[in-house]
A and B are shown apart, each in its own frame.
Chain A
Amino acid sequence: MPSDPDVGPEGRLLLACARAPLHPAPPPPPAAGPLDPVRLLALAERNGLAALLHRFAGPHLPPDVSEPLAAAAARCARAGLAAAGRLRRLAEALGGRGIRMAAYKGPALAMRAYGDVGLRSYADLDLLVAPDDVPAAAAVLEAEGYLPLHRFPPAAEALFRRVDGDYPFRHPATGEVVELHARVSSLRFGADLATPALLGRARPVRLGGGAVPALADDDLFLALALHGSKHRWARLEWLAAAAALAVRAGLSPERMVERGAAVGGRRTVLLALLLFRDALELALPPRVERALAREPGLAPLAAEARGIWFAAAAPDEPTEANLRFNLRLRDGPAERARFALRWLLVPSPEDWAWVRLPAPLAPLYRLVRPLRLALRYGPGRGR
């Protein structure tokens, strides 16, 4: 089991804080040695760990770190409370219109993972609704003052809802973003979690004096594994929250691998578990260890994720790197070919915005997309 590689004292301290929520009585943070305050604070912010670092190590840090960290944790706490309040209000508004929804990530995950909405930082709220309820749920968001960031040609909307299904909305006055999801993960990434079943298994998560429906713990774990791999697990806090959820909920790693396999995400779940073991020092059952031993291709992916956490700067071109990462994560040549073809041929909002075709010509967007991608990413092209 690799322990902390050469991540410096700042990286070791952040890893210790990411592990802390996994223990009922977390051990004191390690003696980190001389710290670079600028690097520590930058890495904590970039990895979404400022609040956890403040909670578990704040009193042990020198004032040049602890004071700005306390300010960051206070901002995180206030933002978390405000987001929880918005989630309560939106859940009530959707429920009032008879629309079933389930929250995931954001405050719902903060409660399930840490029992505290102030320990995660999140830029938006994620609400899952049944695909057929998207128009009604969008109308509720617009009535609450949010404006859609995407406008689709009618012929494209049905395809988008079936394949991607994420609809961002922004409040023009406050800048708050809410993402309405008809799916927890785009079909482009291969895994197919059926939204009606997820909504049927949702259960309430308590937020202050009320509760909102949220994904069941095992469904939430799968959603987090898919989200993490989609973005190369680029923030250490994503991993910390997924692991804390798994530990608090008593999820069985073997069962999670089986569930992942059932929806086309076996290697995605195995990668999450590999990172739990190597970065967060969580012991895995022998059956999962044997499964990992049969998947040597996952170790380089885990190493790539760990490299992002403590790199000097955030990666420059995450889209291309994320695509390469997810291509390598697919299970075998046939899955990789399917993944590549979906990316090449299934149009996205960028394609519909790039050129507007009349409705009868909508099928031609399958040709527009490869052309647009070639012009954008082809050899010698600017970005």
Chain B
Amino acid sequence: MTPGPSTRVAAASDQVSCELDGEAVILHLGEGVYFGLDPVGVHVWSLLEQERSVAELRDAVVAAYEVDAATAEADLIELVEALAARGLVELR
């Protein structure tokens, strides 16, 4: 599934995460694989404690960082795809 602005994103249940040096380290419990997120990714990850659309995430990122909406959305889609490929989020 290719995510778009209306795609809803939720953190998968099969993961745990913690913070390290301002970044997030996520462990997929089934695969035993670690995944790292930069500080912007940490912000997005914290928002995914509840299900949100890509558009909602984009608006939150634009409000928090100096970035235009188009760039933020493109970066978010890339991030969400990477997380989904590793089973760390579910797309609906």
Contacts and interface: CB of A to CB of B under 8 A. Distances in A.
Interface of A: 58, 70, 73-74, 77-78, 80-82, 84-85, 88-89, 116-119, 207-210
Contact of A117 (B12, B13, B18): B18
Contacts of B19: 116, 118
A208 B20 contact: no
Interface of B: 11-21, 25-27, 29, 34
Contacts of A118: 18-20, 25
7 nearest A-B residue pairs (beta carbon): A208-B16, A118-B18, A209-B13, A81-B27, A84-B16, A85-B29, A77-B20
Contacts of B20: 73-74, 77, 118
A70 B21 contact: yes
Nearest to A70: B21
Given A209-B11, A209-B13, A88 B29 contact: yes
Contact of B16 (A58, A117, A119): A117
Contacts of A70: 21
B18 A85 contact: no
Contacts of A119: 18
Nearest to B10: A209
24 contacts: A58-B21, A73-B21, A77-B20, A78-B27, A78-B34, A81-B16, A81-B17, A81-B25, A81-B27, A81-B34, A82-B27, A85-B16, A89-B29, A116-B19, A117-B16, A117-B18, A118-B18, A118-B25, A207-B16, A208-B17, A209-B12, A209-B14, A209-B15, A210-B13
A89 B28 CA distance: 12
A23 to B, nearest CB: 17
A210 B21 CA distance: 24
A85 B13 contact: no
Given A73-B21, A80-B18, A209-B14, 8 more contacts: A58-B21, A82-B27, A88-B16, A208-B13, A208-B15, A208-B27, A209-B11, A209-B13
A77 B18 contact: yes
A257 to B, nearest CB: 34
Nearest to B21: A70
Contacts of A89: 29
A209 B16 contact: yes
A84 B12 CA distance: 15
